[in-house]
Chain A
Amino acid sequence: MKLYLKIWRQKDANSKGKMVDYTVEGVEGDMSFLEMLDVLNEDLIKQGDEPIEFDHDCREGICGTCSLQINGRPHGPDTRITVCQLHMRKFNDGDTIVIEPFRAKAFPVIKDLIIDRSAFERIQQAGGYVSVNTSGNTVDANAIPIEKEMADKSFNAATCIGCGACVAACKNASAMLFTSAKVSQFALLPQGRVEAADRVRNMVRQMDLEGFGNCTNTGACEVECPKGISLENIARMNREYLTATAKG
């Protein structure tokens, strides 16, 4: 396969970026999208150019590091996967592919296709945990039975890999799906209920401070989420937030 790529290049956070055209040849269907970029980078290094920098790590869809907007969609044209799981057989010889970083004011570009997602870190730090010491001196794990349905729902919310596709897909760059997934995971468990009100208030406050947009319920986040996290979580967070605020 021969492909025409339009890729965002930006030297650093303070420089202006631009789209640059590249051609890559010898692409095979078995390659992952990132391996295709590896091939391009190898060519660039050979030619004495600087390779394109992009974030990636586990390359098996779980670490949440890779973050490319491909042809206008986060993680590319397939659903329920990350870029590293996207294979080139999804494209055809002669295709033009536009590759950009995830865009949001809260996710500034560090270099080329690499973005700074520390906003997510700060949201988690504001309350994405159960405040229990790690001494191990807690009750026996089976002392509190948890309804299987609740446990499963909590797990489904907890599968979020923190990649930021929800923000990237949202026309408003809203981080509601991400934040609500964490709020939900704990709100659904008895261990997390104790400080549920503080948690949701603090996490939402931090989310707003980071400059993400507002949720307009378009549902794009749910469609593009590699883990299929449900909009139900956003409704749950809204509910939690309203009751927490009403309680004062």
Chain B
Amino acid sequence: MGKLDSKIPSGPLAEKWTKHKNEINLVNPANKRNIDVIVVGTGLAGSSAAASMAELGYNVKTFCYQDSPRRAHSIAAQGGINASKNYQGDGDSDYRLFYDTIKGGDYRSREANVYRLAEVSSNIIDQCVAQGVPFAREYGGLLDNRSFGGVLVSRTFYAKGQTGQQLLLGAYGAVNRQINRGKIKSHTRHEMLDLVLVDGKARGIIARNLVTGEIERHSAHAVVIASGGYGNLFFLSTYCMGANVMAAWRTHKKGAYFANPCFTQIHPTCIPVSGDHQSKLTLMSESLRNDGRIWVPKKLEDAKAIREGRLKPTELAEEDRDYYLERRYPAFGNLVPRDVASRAAKERCDAGYGVNKTGEAVYLDFSAAIERYGKEKAYTMGLKDADKDTIRKLGEEVVEAKYGNLFQMYEKIVDENPYKTPMMIYPAVHYTMGGLWVDYNLMTTIPGCYSAGEANFSDHGANRLGASALMQGLADGYFVLPYTIGDYLADDIRTGPIPTDSPEFDEAEKAVKEKLNRLLSIKGENSVDYYHKKLGKIMWNKCGMSRNEKGLKEAIKEIAELREDFWKNVRVPGEANSKNQELEKAGRVADFLEIGELFAMDALNREESCGGHFREEYQTPEGEALRDDKNFRYVSAWEYKGEPRESKLHKEELVFENVELKTRSYK
């Protein structure tokens, strides 16, 4: 394959999408009935794409490993969804949303894609409201907005702390409507194990029925991969347990380039790991940083005493506390962007100031806010000289009204009352900006194979802004893919059904079965989780919040060794022809053990710091990220060559015609 062609339409930025829609091929409704499309993954991107394409008339088959499309992990998104509606009249516009997203992504995303995202964002809200998504409203009956990190306007629409679930249920409803009409065939508890190419085009998939273990062949004229991100390779993350990279990775191995694998977002406010048994991390909304102050003890001996339970954080005097974000970033203080806050927490904990028994936690303290709000409330109530207890009580009430549900969740998990003692938090992996490389039409480098949502790399560059993931998933699925896929399928109106008895399907099925049998036949010593946890440790320590050449080289070596050991010593009990969760996990971890290596290679190659990717060698004297626009203003797109370490790097140069590249500063 030659140079990467992003197929960005010509013309002024704001007119590209309209112009493109006017110029691309369409398929007439009668012909759409003869065309099949497979959608893998049923989160926001997959469900919205499946429903929209089925409405247009295509025959759609959806696949998800969950027992219902509704359970995809889009459901866990809390905060909200951005749209440039400018309902608040605070100066928002498509351009401003576009600009914030480009800047937030540290200038590592495509202008044209991001502008299109901003352009369709308003439509998403209209669409969702029409579907009956119960967004939060004001007393006047109109939609409410709130503001989110990194921007100066209020453009985030939300449904309490459940925006993701409500939007997904909206898309799921649209899918159900098409299932009821017979236009979508839903395959739940199915996992895509391979992509089938016929004459170089994506023509189907091999899937495993996770209940019966049966290997099935499914053909189509085009395949959409909307299977989410790969952050679970860290083992501990805010991803759901089943999230995996199998569909995307196996598509990559069949020829689709994988872009920017090292761009991972690490969210600063998660509940810390409590012990080795931990399986999953829980996010606490970013909004907490509005009122919470982050600190660790100033003295190492105090930190040690706290860890050993000899000292309580509330007993530590004010002058013995280090409010390190306020100290380092006086202008933004506790409200620095996610990547900066995360790195700063890691820096303190690595230096020995961590405050929980594992030494990997910092405090998020609300006592100052409680006191401030309490005084304010007492004053407005006419209690001019209220005593300390009254102020505290009133303050707690205000904080409860704002964050009550989060505080309650924290208490359930940690068993400590965050009103009385500071919360403990630590950063955790929660999103991957990297993914399958796609052009402006969302097509991968394999003709007929598309990718949408978190599974592709398209819109967030090196760092994603809050409330933008939901926006991108639905934009891709509702408003982009249904148009652009027609351009490709217009050539397939005479193709007829794709047979599944071709040699290509035979071969793909055989390979898949061999792999499954190989996993079962090793009968080694260690469980799948053993390897997953080990991989997670390598990733977290050497490819996590800050990376350096030495660590990355070690990681590449260690991951390769671990993978080799996995294929010699893993123990997968049970059989292939029945429900077998260990076998499912084994397949997923096998892929993580491959992408982990590519991840580290990509991080090693990118000799600059940008967004979520921080290379210790490339920082300013103050310890801030140092971008290198001269040498690294490109998308890394990796081509698979038989082994991760042999992958070939292709570069898509990023052209900025509408924004000026600047350095982000939060001092």
Contact = CB atoms under 8 A, between A and B. Distances in A.
Decide if A and B touch, CB cutoff 8 A. Answer: yes
A42 interface: yes
B31 interface: no
Nearest to A140: B126
A87 B413 contact: yes
Contact of A154 (B52, B134, B186): B134
A192 B67 CA distance: 27
Contact of B66 (A57, A135, A139): A57
B277 A141 contact: no
Contact of B180 (A46, A65, A126, A155): A126
B603 interface: no
Contact of A118 (B125, B139, B188, B282): B188
A204 interface: no
B48 A62 contact: no
A57 B275 contact: no
Contacts of B279: 32, 34-35, 38, 59
B582 A155 contact: no
Nearest to B52: A134
A167 B282 CA distance: 28
Interface string B120-144: 1001111111111011111111110
Contacts of B76: 58, 60, 62-63
Interface residues of B, number: 79
Interface string A187-205: 0010110000000000000
Contacts of B650: none
B61 interface: no
Contacts of B71: 57-58, 63-65, 162
B75 A125 contact: no
Interface in A12-65: 12, 28-32, 34-35, 38-39, 42, 45-46, 48-51, 53, 55-65
Interface residues of A, number: 80
A248 to B, nearest CB: 22
Contacts of B173: 124, 128-130
Contacts of B534: none
Given A50-B573, A136-B127, A130 B132 contact: yes
Given A134-B55, A139-B130, A141-B129, A85 B412 contact: yes
Contacts of B135: 141, 151
A56 B125 contact: no
Given A124-B176, A125-B176, A159-B162, A189 B67 contact: no
A197 to B, nearest CB: 16
Interface in B265-287: 274-275, 277-280, 282-283
B123 A63 contact: no
B446 interface: no
Contact of B413 (A65, A85, A134): A85
B141 A29 contact: no
Contacts of A29: 415
A45 B571 contact: yes
Interface of B: 48, 51-52, 55, 66-68, 70-71, 73, 75-76, 85, 87, 120, 123-132, 134-143, 159-160, 162, 164-166, 169, 172-174, 176-177, 179-180, 186, 188, 211, 238, 240-242, 274-275, 277-280, 282-283, 409, 412-413, 415, 478-479, 527, 529, 571, 573-574, 578-579, 581-582
Interface of A: 11-12, 28-32, 34-35, 38-39, 42, 45-46, 48-51, 53, 55-65, 78, 81, 84-85, 87, 89, 110-111, 114, 116-118, 120-121, 124-136, 138-142, 144-148, 151-152, 154-155, 158-159, 161-162, 185-186, 189, 191-192
Given A42-B529, A162-B68, 5 more contacts: A29-B415, A136-B123, A136-B126, A155-B160, A191-B129
